[in-house]
Amino acid sequence: MPIYEYRCLSCEKELEVVQKFSDAPLSTCPECGGELKKLISHSSFVLKGSGWYVTDYPSPERKKAMEAEKKASGESKDSKGDKKTEKTKV
């Protein structure tokens, strides 16, 4: 069950409550009886990496497009590499 955060508009006290999704939100402060406001808190679920789904499980068309992008970027790097000269110490 998720944990919800509330702040009292009267006494400014913050509280955390474990509730079901189907439970109605709290409306009165247990300390002073004032009105509670539901807070939006940070999620503990974070997606990291180069991509999610698109690069991990691409469709056949996406795979072809990604390969074409790699080849195109590889060709441009090779043409630039031809212009460079190596310096060697004598």
Beta bridge mates, 38: 6
CA distance 75 to 67: 12
Does 67 fall in a domain? Answer: no
pLDDT band at 83 (very low <50, low <70, confident <90, very high): low
* Helices vs strands, H then E, count in the chain: 1, 3
The type of residue at 69 is E
Does 66 fall in a domain? Answer: no
Residue-range definition of the domain harbouring residue 29: 3-39
Does 84 fall in a domain? Answer: no
59 or 20, which is more confident? 20
- The predicted structure's pLDDT at residue 25: 92
Domain tally for the chain? Answer: 1
